[in-house]
């Protein structure tokens, strides 16, 4: 599978927006959902800026939705619910969701130089299935990836996650309105898209999309929720910066 995407696949004018403020993520609190609040399809269907993707799965039936189940200080989350499980995880199977960040909004990261900046990813997550999950940062222009992980330790309980991401001194982010970085949360991945992965930035190949020892969320019926997604420059997470709905919507409509 190629991870290359043109701007049209970012979702058009509603999904290629300018990032301002502290976080590089738009609509991280899942408050804006212009297309609808529930869908059984992949792609940009519900919560703005977040795209759900699947590959090869034959039996899987799922719903993506904007949910009102949320931790303190938040009103909404993105919910992925498996209603019919995938009986066998084949090599080419995966289920993930993504936000893509416009390249010209990432120039201050200084990728490809000795001054490349580290960043911190933070979010709230809740799942019916405990264990290890993968999240990767993919650089479109450099075709490079940094595949990380997080753990859900208690079922059906909100947990706060914070992950450190090194700057990519060998990477490339063009100064244009194309896809700069994509943030990919992986709920299941077959052997084509998973492997034993060393830490840090490296050239992208399909098997670096996810860790081979992560959970197989699509093997059971259950729910996964996420909100408060924030990607910020620096080596420590800071509190989520809430903004007005109008400002959030304006960014989503770029």
Query: How far is it, in rounded angstroms, from Cα 200 to Cα 1?
Result: 21
Domain assignment present for residue 170? The answer is no
**Per-residue tokens: 65:** 């939705």
Does the pTM surpass 0.85? The reply is yes
Closest CA to 75 of 248, 217, 237, 254: 248
Residue 22, phi then psi, degrees to nearest 5: -75, -35
State the average pLDDT over residues 133-161.
98
Domain assignment present for residue 171? The answer is no
Mean pLDDT of the chain: 92
Which residues span the domain enclosing 58?
A: 19-101+121-165+178-249
In this structure, how many other beta carbons lie within 10 angstroms of the beta carbon of residue 218?
27
Domain assignment present for residue 208? The answer is yes
Domain assignment present for residue 115? The answer is no
**pLDDT of amino acid 100:** 98
Query: How far is it, in rounded angstroms, from Cα 52 to Cα 95?
Result: 8
Query: How far is it, in rounded angstroms, from Cα 108 to Cα 173?
Result: 10
CATH number (domain holding residue 69):
2.60.120.260
Domain assignment present for residue 184? The answer is yes
What stretch of H or E contains 195?
A: strand 194-195
The total of structural domains in the chain comes to: 1
pLDDT tens per residue, range 96-128: 999 999 999 999 999 999 999 999 999 999 999
Res 14 pLDDT > 80: no
Residues ≥6 apart with Cβ < 8 Å to 250:
none
pLDDT tens per residue, range 53-108: 999 999 999 999 999 999 999 999 999 999 999 999 999 999 999 999 999 999 99
18-27, 66-75, 141-150, 219-228: least confidently modelled range = 18-27
**pLDDT of amino acid 6:** 33
**pLDDT of amino acid 254:** 83
Domain assignment present for residue 63? The answer is yes
**pLDDT-derived band of residue 8, with 50, 70 and 90 as boundaries?**
very low
State the average pLDDT over residues 149-160.
98
Domain assignment present for residue 151? The answer is yes
């Amino acid at each position: 599978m190629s991870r290359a995407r043109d701007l049209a696949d970012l979702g058009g004018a509603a999904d290629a927006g300018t990032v301002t403020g502290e976080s590089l993520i738009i609509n991280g609190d899942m408050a804006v959902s212009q297309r609808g609040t529930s869908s059984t399809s992949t792609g940009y269907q519900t919560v703005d800026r977040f795209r759900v993707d699947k590959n090869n799965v034959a039996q899987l039936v799922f719903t993506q939705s904007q949910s009102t189940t949320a931790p303190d200080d938040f009103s909404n989350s993105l919910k992925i619910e498996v209603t019919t499980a995938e009986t066998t995880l084949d090599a080419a199977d995966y289920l993930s969701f993504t936000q893509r960040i416009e390249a010209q909004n990432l120039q201050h990261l200084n990728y490809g130089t000795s001054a490349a900046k580290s960043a911190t990813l933070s979010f709230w997550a809740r799942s019916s299935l405990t264990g290890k999950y993968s999240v990767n940062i993919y650089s479109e222009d450099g075709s490079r990836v940094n595949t990380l992980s997080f753990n859900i330790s208690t079922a059906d309980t909100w947990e706060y996650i914070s992950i450190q991401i090194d700057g990519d001194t060998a990477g490339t982010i063009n100064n244009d309105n194309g896809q700069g970085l994509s943030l990919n949360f992986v709920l299941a991945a077959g052997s084509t898209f998973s492997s034993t992965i060393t830490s840090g930035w490296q050239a992208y190949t399909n098997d670096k999309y996810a860790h081979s020892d992560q959970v197989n969320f699509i093997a059971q019926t259950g729910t996964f929720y996420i909100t408060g997604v924030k990607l910020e420059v620096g080596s420590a997470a800071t509190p989520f910066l809430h903004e007005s709905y109008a400002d959030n919507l304006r960014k989503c409509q770029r």
